[in-house]
Amino acid sequence: MLRALGLRAIEDLFSDVPAEVRTDGLDLPPGLSEQDVVVRITEMLAANRSMDDMPMFLGGGIYDHFVPASVRAISSRSEFYTSYTPYQPELSQGILQALWEYQSLICELSGMDAANTSLYDASTALGEAALMAHRIHGGRVFVIPRAIRWNRRSVLQNYLLGGSLSVRDVDYDRTTGLLDLAKLREAVTPDVCGVYVETPNFFGRFEEQIEAIREVVADAVLVVGINPVAQAVLRPPGDYDADIVIGEGQALGNPANFGGPLLGIFACRQEHVRKMPGRVIGLTRDANGHRAFCMTLQTREQHIRREKAMSNICTNESLLAVSAAAYLAVLGSNGLRALAAENIRRAKDLAAAIDRIDGYVAPVFKGAHYNEFAVRAKKGYDRVRKGLLDHGVHGGIALKRYLPELENVALFTTTERHRPEHVERLLQALEALA
Amino acid sequence: MTFRQATYDEPLLFEKRSGDEATVDLTDLVPATIRRERLELPNLPEHDVVRHFTRLSQMTFGIDSGFYPLGSCTMKFNPKYAEELAALPTVARLHPDQDESTVQGALRLMFELQRALATISGMDAVTLQPAAGAQGELTGLLLAAAYHRDRGERRDQVILPDTAHGTNFASAGMLGFQIVEVPSKDGRVDVKALDAAVGPRTLAFMLTNPNTLGIFEERVLDIADVVHDAGALLYYDGANFNAILGKTSPGKMNFDIVHFNLHKTFTTPHGGGGPGSGPVGVRKPLEAYLPYPLIAFDGARYHLDYDRPKSIGKVRAWYGNFALLVRAYAYILRLGSDGLTEAAERAVLNANYTMHRLKGILEVPFGGIRKHEFVASAASLVPKGVRTVDVAKRLMDFGFHPPTVYFPHLVEEALMIEPTETETKETLDAFVDALARIVGEDPTTLKGAPHHTAVARVDEVRAAREAVLSWRTAKARKPDSL
């Protein structure tokens, strides 16, 4: 090949790189055999304790649901995972249809008319939703619950830097854990472009005041944060006129992966479609009149619109969207609704069992929960958390980092994955540590 | 090569016959006011679901299906060992809120990857947090803004060459910065024009090197001087990093901020649109602003370092796309210093060989050697009524994924071709032979292409006009295309 180019050495191909900037190779060790790489990484990672090694009662946005083997078999089809963004629809009809089906499934869950093929995760979906609320409404303040994961707040603040938008917090009711309606009324001033509400919320509570919240939000944009599995048994936000629905889609057939990749769900009403960020797949026809799919409304996107684009997002989380579609297809409405009910039931039972142990209150907030709930350890949670690890069980997330007034409170999560012996181990350890 | 893509009239999931709805008793579980009584998802036999998606996969073209010379996307072979490692329970089944003592292996891998990327790029510190290249850009610009702000300076302009990726413009626009575009000269940054453009308002100049024409910016040190003399920062868009591994580095070229695309240079699979991973490296003066947490090592334990008072905070939830970090690190260990350098060499050789063979078939504007990619033009076919899009569609009939088309904008009827190092001479020859044949074909054949894919040419205008993005909307509106 060099000869064809009239060159002698491979170095001749780098003659345009000035000597002053040249480096001589890389200061890394030489390459390893495939076997050595596999052994080295597997051994390094063996220092981890996974959810297979120890029961964990962790949630807070990432949930350990059982994933049917069919889902991974589907997402492991190498035509799917080794393809690029489907810029050429004729060659990519399969993944385009799968992604359109994903959009459709998200719309069924949320009651929205349109969904994109994903954003990075729920936190960036929140940032993008705030920017979109500003595009729709014009106001410069975005209202969020004070009880929210701090990583979502931190991401939101970075996303809002450019639009000089500000974030306003609304506190929660100390008894119910729900949004404080009186405080929400005070917060929603005419310069508010949008309000973000989660259901289930940070404490696992279903937001029961949704109609009242809709009224307070009035003509500002209502953004609802969902858990897609819980959504199977909850009224769709489209029912109460939400404008935008976001959520973390990891729970739909994707592993926890130490927090990434995740699946940012983003859906909206048809009237807002042209202000939506991210890639969307549309229905159309081919030259012979056959049904076909392609990426569409691309004039919203960076490669066409550049700095006027709705977002800078290009690479997203499409493969996780395919997994989510496969998961929802395997479970169907029957499977998903039964799963959501099972999670609620288990959390209810677990909270009651913890509450029966002297030294703990669970749930801290009264009312209906999804699959997680706040637990108060009367003598402090730090010690309990460490003690649980010694008992071979991982306790919930300490909440004082997010909300300092919740000094001794932790968020415990359970799913269908926990076996009776896991729950038993937790309860015995809690009792021993009370 | 003859190519026929699998073709099925595969109905939508929603059009399949659904089983009966089961009732779920939610009485004591969900308050009646917020309870949902029905969910309209189809209930299908599992085997039908697997068959459905298997058929869809067969109507999808990946790198494993064939040559994929999509310019600027670095579609090289995705090694299978990386897939196996990423599927380990010690990767997949870790919750990010686990106690640090239970994730020492994960933290160690991330720590070592931070160091390897710092070495490769010549930077002092690296964050693995950004989810993709564009988010790396956003992060880099946030870092630049924090750096200037800390020095009491308000800078609000980002300068971009006209060859820049669309994401550069969008990332700067999203943060509210004013964009100043500088034109190219001979396919390179016009240093004089850049000198005239920079000033006290300049936050950063973002540059891809080699640029999107595949041309190495030889005057990069002059560019760095111009940018730094104005007090601004020089940003390296790492989309084309594959061309320079071991030959030069952003550090050596005096860049201040770098983003990597692990899904390009370090070959994590792109998943039909994502996930990606976009770590960012910086020089010492910018380290304090990196998103928290960084992964630190105290000689005995690895930990998540949140004690970073000047940090910009977070750009996404948790620590990065960990499953992709595992794949990328496995690839770095597998290739090592020798293999990574050789990857760049072969990528550059393959691009130049393909370009050389293509001369006389299609126009290739700008002279000289290229790095990992080059841009050809189909402008010479326009008089006979054929455009780049027609050539691209016809390439599919020969079993090739088309190159990136109509980018960069300064080349008319552009075809941006990046063969990558993992392709053989036989494949490259077959690709050029196909293009040679296509160029000689009658316009009707080209306009009617593709002929051998699952569907014929897709009406993208109709899709945008109808904007039917879901089954719900389709059912309500009953568009012709349904």
> Average pLDDT of A60-73?
97
Nearest to B315 among A21, A61, A158 (CB): A158
Whether the ω angle into residue A420 lies within 30 degrees of 0, i.e. cis, is no
At what angle are helices B46-58 and A93-110 packed, to 10 degrees? 140
Q: How many of the other CB atoms lie within 10 Å of CB of A222?
A: 23
At what angle are helices B104-121 and B322-358 packed, to 10 degrees? 30
pLDDT at A287 over 80: yes
| Type of residue found at A271 | E
pLDDT at A299 over 90: no
Report the alpha-carbon distance of residue A195 to residue B250 in Å, rounded. Answer: 43
pLDDT at A161 over 90: no
Ordered DSSP codes for B87-131 = TSHHHHT--TTS-GGGBHHHHHHHHHHHHHHHHHHT-SEEE---S
Residues A258, B407: C-beta atoms closer than 8 Å:
no
Residues B341, A64: C-beta atoms closer than 8 Å:
no
Percent of chain B with pLDDT strictly greater than 70? 100
What are the respective helix, strand and coil percentages of chain B, to the nearest 5?
40, 15, 50
Q: Render the burial of B405-433: b for 16+ CB within 10 Å, e for the rest.
A: bbbbebbebbbbbbbbbbbeeebbebbbe
> pLDDT-based confidence at A305, cuts 50/70/90?
confident
Which is it for the CA torsion A135, A158, A259, A170, positive or negative? negative
Whether the ω angle into residue B293 lies within 30 degrees of 0, i.e. cis, is yes
From chain B, the residues in CB contact with A58 under 8 A are 95, 97-98
Selection from A19, A24, A20, A2 nearest residue B369 by Cα: A2
Q: Return the pLDDT at B343.
A: 98
Rounded to 5 degrees, what are φ and ψ at A194?
A: -160, 160
Shortest alpha-carbon distance between residue A31 and chain B (Å):
4
Q: How many of the other CB atoms lie within 10 Å of CB of B390?
A: 21
Q: Which residue has the higher pLDDT, A149 or A201?
A: A201
pLDDT at B116 over 70: yes
From chain A, the residues in CB contact with B338 under 8 A are 25, 30-31
Percent of chain A with pLDDT strictly greater than 90? 95
Shortest alpha-carbon distance between residue B337 and chain A (Å):
5
* Among A residues 179-198, those touching chain B with beta carbons less than 8 Å apart: none
Shortest alpha-carbon distance between residue A241 and chain B (Å):
14
pLDDT 10s digits, A403-422? 999 999 999 999 999 999 99
Report the alpha-carbon distance of residue A412 to residue A423 in Å, rounded. Answer: 12
Shortest alpha-carbon distance between residue A358 and chain B (Å):
26
State the architecture of B68-453 in CATH terms.
3-Layer(aba) Sandwich (3.40)
From chain B, the residues in CB contact with A348 under 8 A are 29
From chain A, the residues in CB contact with B450 under 8 A are 90-91
What are the extents of the domains in chain A? 69-327, 332-433
The encoded tokens of residue B477 equal 């509106």
Residues A79, B57: C-beta atoms closer than 8 Å:
yes
User: Coil, helix or strand for B433?
Assistant: helix
From chain A, the residues in CB contact with B253 under 8 A are 21
| Type of residue found at B468 | V
Selection from A103, A294, A72 nearest residue B454 by Cα: A294
pLDDT 10s digits, B125-160? 999 999 999 999 999 999 999 999 999 999 999 999
CA distances from B345 to B128, B348, B372 (A): 27, 5, 9
Contact between A292 and B455 (Cβ < 8 Å): yes
> Average pLDDT of B77-90?
98
Report the alpha-carbon distance of residue B67 to residue B77 in Å, rounded. Answer: 10
HSE-CB at B160 with a 13 A cutoff on CA atoms is 24
From chain B, the residues in CB contact with A118 under 8 A are 273-274
Shortest alpha-carbon distance between residue B425 and chain A (Å):
8
Q: Return the pLDDT at B359.
A: 93
State the architecture of A69-327 in CATH terms.
3-Layer(aba) Sandwich (3.40)
Residues B59, A93: C-beta atoms closer than 8 Å:
yes
Shortest alpha-carbon distance between residue B78 and chain A (Å):
7
| Type of residue found at A73 | A
* Among A residues 273-332, those touching chain B with beta carbons less than 8 Å apart: 273-274, 279-288, 290-294, 296-299, 301-309, 311-320, 322, 325-326, 328-332
On average, the pLDDT of chain A sits at 96
Report the alpha-carbon distance of residue B202 to residue B227 in Å, rounded. Answer: 8
pLDDT at B73 over 80: yes
B67 Cβ contact list (under 8 Å, min separation 6): B399, B400, B401, B419, B423, B427, B430, B431
Residues B53, A348: C-beta atoms closer than 8 Å:
no
From chain A, the residues in CB contact with B337 under 8 A are 25-31
pLDDT 10s digits, B306-342? 999 999 999 999 999 999 999 999 999 999 999 999 9
pLDDT at A37 over 90: yes
Q: Return the pLDDT at A300.
A: 78
- By C-alpha distance, the chain B residue nearest A49 is B102
Q: Return the pLDDT at A307.
A: 78
User: Coil, helix or strand for B248?
Assistant: strand
B185 DSSP β-pair partners: B188
On average, the pLDDT of chain B sits at 97
> Average pLDDT of B43-70?
98
Nearest to A23 among B65, B249, B269 (CB): B249
| Per-residue three-class SS string for chain A | CCCCCCCCCHHHHHCCCCHHHECCCCCCCECCCHHHHHHHHHHHHCCECCCCCCCECCCCCCCCCCCCHHHHHHHCCHHHHCCCCCCCHHHCHHHHHHHHHHHHHHHHHHCCCEECCCECCHHHHHHHHHHHHHHHHCCCEEEEECCCCHHHHHHHHHHHCCCCCEEEEECECCCCCCECHHHHHHHCCCCEEEEEEEECCCCCECCCCHHHHHHHHCCCEEEEEECCCHHHHECCHHHHCCCEEEEECCCCCCCCHHHCCCCEEEEECHHHHHHCCCCEEEEEEECCCCEEEEEECHHHCHHHHHHHCCCCCCCCCHHHHHHHHHHHHHHHHHHHHHHHHHHHHHHHHHHHHHHHCCCEECCCCCCCECCEEEEEECCCHHHHHHHHHHCCCECCEECCCCCCCCCCEEEEECCCCCCHHHHHHHHHHHHHHC
Q: Return the pLDDT at B59.
A: 98
A332-433 fold: Aspartate Aminotransferase, domain 1 (3.90.1150)
Q: How many of the other CB atoms lie within 10 Å of CB of A70?
A: 18
> Average pLDDT of B281-289?
98
pLDDT 10s digits, B156-195? 999 999 999 999 999 999 999 999 999 999 999 999 999 9
- Cβ-based contacts under 8 A for chains A and B: 664
Report the alpha-carbon distance of residue B468 to residue A272 in Å, rounded. Answer: 13
pLDDT at A301 over 80: no
Angle at A384 between CA A394 and CA A364, to 5 degrees: 90
Q: Return the pLDDT at A304.
A: 76
pLDDT 10s digits, A369-404? 999 999 999 999 999 999 999 999 999 999 999 999
pLDDT at B1 over 70: no
Residues B263, A42: C-beta atoms closer than 8 Å:
no
> Average pLDDT of B417-442?
98
pLDDT at A427 over 80: yes
